[in-house]
């Protein structure tokens, strides 16, 4: 393997910082070439001084002067604005783009990366939720391979090595069940932001942690798997597996099942996505199988986790319904994190905002953008009216 130039979109977030850990582990193989962040100038500047990328870009233009000040005297090029991030995807020096930004904001640069035939290490699952059909088609057209960074999809990707598409019977996504797995519907009425942010196994950013607690995350992951592996959603199952050791499984047409196991640590799928097809040797803490004498698997409960039901409904409707679901969820989760609504209000607001959205069966990119704007506004309206 020769040196690869890596663009990390969202380098200051949880996946972004862990991707930089991996780059530091293999300095002769992986070079952080471009780093971008939304608003966190202090951390972005520290990363730039440590890793000396070619360029850094801050999405929020009001942060540009502060970033320039912090990087005065360094040789790193500094730019600002989301357009600059999208434009940077045409740089021929970039080999791999790690899409680690939060939510809908990942859509445009991911489309640009696909158009320029980059290897996409996909962490931003919302882009496939919103525009899976469009992105898969672009990636195919421009020979841009998509390597999953999400642990479940990395597991499936690893299980599929050497297998043909015809051999797949079902995909089985595992889910930890999140912090509220054992709570009754009544107990869930009074859970707090701190409770929801306390994930039992995984250390992740705030948005995905709340999505895990509501199981919206698993709904999104079904959609992500549908597009990554070209398997219809009715052949994708979810198994609640509280130990988070089996990261997902594939059942084949002969009845055999392959599973991928490992400690719940995002460095593993990041390492696999960046090293593929090679496995990169690591001194990381290795799992001892004897420490896990009991691994359990249960059916999920859409009664207690209505967001999972919303996801199945959106999949069944298709068109712009998943895009509407994502938009409503982003607004509702942000309102919950600002403590404007309760945890149990999220499904209600999302359900109403999605039901009110204009349905489009075969949306263009522009129509997806319009759906996103429309549903955000109606979800915001529902929240301020509460
Ligand atoms: Mg996941």
CA of 26 to the centre of ligand 1 (A): 24
CA of 201 to the centre of ligand 1 (A): 12
CA of 175 to the centre of ligand 1 (A): 8
CA of 302 to the centre of ligand 1 (A): 18
- Cβ-count burial of 65 within 10 angstroms (0-12 exposed, 13-18 middle, 19+ buried)? exposed
CA of 152 to the centre of ligand 1 (A): 5
pLDDT of 262 reads 96
CA of 322 to the centre of ligand 1 (A): 18
CA of 68 to the centre of ligand 1 (A): 35
CA of 62 to the centre of ligand 1 (A): 32
Structure tokens at 51: 């890793």
pLDDT of 215 reads 95
- Cβ-count burial of 370 within 10 angstroms (0-12 exposed, 13-18 middle, 19+ buried)? middle
Structure tokens at 103: 């939510």
Write the CB contacts of 228 (distance below 8 Å, at least 6 apart in sequence).
122, 128, 146, 148, 153, 156, 157
CA of 192 to the centre of ligand 1 (A): 23
CA of 203 to the centre of ligand 1 (A): 11
CA of 151 to the centre of ligand 1 (A): 5
The whole model's pTM is what?
0.94
CA of 150 to the centre of ligand 1 (A): 5
pLDDT of 199 reads 87
Which tens digit of pLDDT belongs to each residue from 292-305? 999 999 999 989 99
CA of 273 to the centre of ligand 1 (A): 14
What is the rounded CA–CA span in Å between residue 135 and residue 322?
A: 14
CA of 176 to the centre of ligand 1 (A): 9
pLDDT of 105 reads 87
Place of tokens 């640069």: 109
Query: Which residues, listed in sequence order, are joined to residue 171 by a DSSP beta bridge?
Result: 236, 250
What is the rounded CA–CA span in Å between residue 318 and residue 243?
A: 32
Strand-pair category, 257-261 with 246-252: antiparallel
pLDDT of 386 reads 67
CA of 221 to the centre of ligand 1 (A): 7
What is the rounded CA–CA span in Å between residue 12 and residue 5?
A: 18
Alpha carbon dihedral 176, 180, 184, 188, in 10-degree steps, equals -150
- Mark the ranges of the chain whose per-residue pLDDT is less than 50: none
**Alpha helix (H) residue ranges in the chain:** 14-25, 41-51, 64-70, 82-88, 107-115, 126-141, 151-159, 185-188, 193-197, 206-214, 216-229, 267-275, 306-317, 321-337, 345-356, 365-385
What is the rounded CA–CA span in Å between residue 229 and residue 171?
A: 9
Asked whether the CA dihedral 304, 345, 244, 146 is positive or negative, the reply is positive
Structure tokens at 265: 């640590």
pLDDT of 205 reads 87
Q: Show the domains of the chain with their CATH numbers.
A: 4-144 (3.40.50.720), 149-301 (no CATH)
What is the rounded CA–CA span in Å between residue 91 and residue 54?
A: 11
pLDDT of 202 reads 83
CA of 199 to the centre of ligand 1 (A): 13
Put the strands of the sheet holding 4-9 in their side by side order: 77-80, 55-58, 30-37, 4-9, 96-99, 119-122, 146-148
Within 10 A of 284 (CB to CB), how many other CB atoms are there?
15
Which tens digit of pLDDT belongs to each residue from 153-189? 999 999 999 999 999 999 999 999 999 999 999 999 9
CA of 218 to the centre of ligand 1 (A): 7
What is the rounded CA–CA span in Å between residue 353 and residue 84?
A: 32
Within 10 A of 42 (CB to CB), how many other CB atoms are there?
14
DSSP string, 70-100: HTTTS--EEEESHHHHHHHTT-TT--EEEE-
CA of 267 to the centre of ligand 1 (A): 13
pLDDT of 222 reads 96
CA of 71 to the centre of ligand 1 (A): 35
């Amino acid at each position: 393997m020769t040196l690869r130039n890596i663009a990390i979109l969202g380098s200051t977030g949880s996946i972004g910082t862990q991707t930089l850990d991996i780059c530091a582990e293999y300095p002769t193989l992986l070079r952080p070439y471009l780093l971008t962040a939304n608003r966190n100038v202090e951390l972005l500047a520290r990363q730039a001084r440590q890793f000396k990328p070619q360029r850094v870009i801050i999405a929020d233009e009001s942060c540009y002067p502060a970033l320039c000040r912090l990087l005065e005297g360094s040789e790193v090029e500094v730019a600002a604005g989301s357009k600059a991030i999208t434009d940077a995807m045409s740089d021929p020096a970039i080999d791999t783009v790690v899409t680690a930004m939060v939510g809908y904001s990942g859509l445009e640069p991911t489309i640009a990366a696909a158009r320029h035939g980059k290897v996409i290490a996909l962490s931003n699952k919302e882009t496939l939720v919103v525009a899976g059909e469009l992105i898969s088609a672009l990636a195919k057209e421009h020979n841009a391979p998509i390597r999953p960074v999400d642990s479940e999809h990395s597991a499936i990707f690893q299980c599929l090595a050497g297998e043909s598409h015809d051999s797949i019977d079902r995909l089985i996504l595992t889910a930890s069940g999140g912090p509220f797995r054992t709570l009754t519907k009544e107990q869930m009425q009074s859970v707090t932001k701190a409770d929801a942010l306390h994930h039992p196994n995984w250390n992740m950013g705030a948005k995905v942690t709340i999505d895990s607690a509501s199981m919206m995350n698993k709904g999104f992951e079904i959609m992500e798997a549908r597009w990554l592996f070209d398997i219809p959603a009715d052949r994708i199952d979810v198994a609640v597996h509280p130990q988070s050791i089996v990261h997902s499984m594939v059942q084949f047409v002969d009845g055999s099942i392959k599973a991928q196991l490992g400690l719940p640590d995002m460095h593993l799928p990041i390492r696999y996505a960046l090293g593929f097809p090679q496995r990169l040797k690591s001194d990381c803490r290795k799992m001892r199988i004897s420490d896990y004498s009991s691994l359990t698997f249960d059916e999920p409960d859409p009664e207690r986790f209505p967001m999972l039901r919303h996801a199945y409904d959106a999949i069944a409707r298709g068109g712009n319904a998943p895009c509407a679901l994502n938009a409503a969820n982003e607004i509702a989760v942000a309102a919950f994190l600002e403590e404007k609504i309760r945890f149990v209000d999220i499904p209600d607001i999302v359900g109403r905002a999605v039901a009110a959205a204009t349905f489009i069966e075969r949306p263009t990119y522009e129509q997806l953008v319009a759906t996103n704007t429309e549903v955000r506004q109606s979800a915001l309206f529902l929240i301020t009216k509460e």
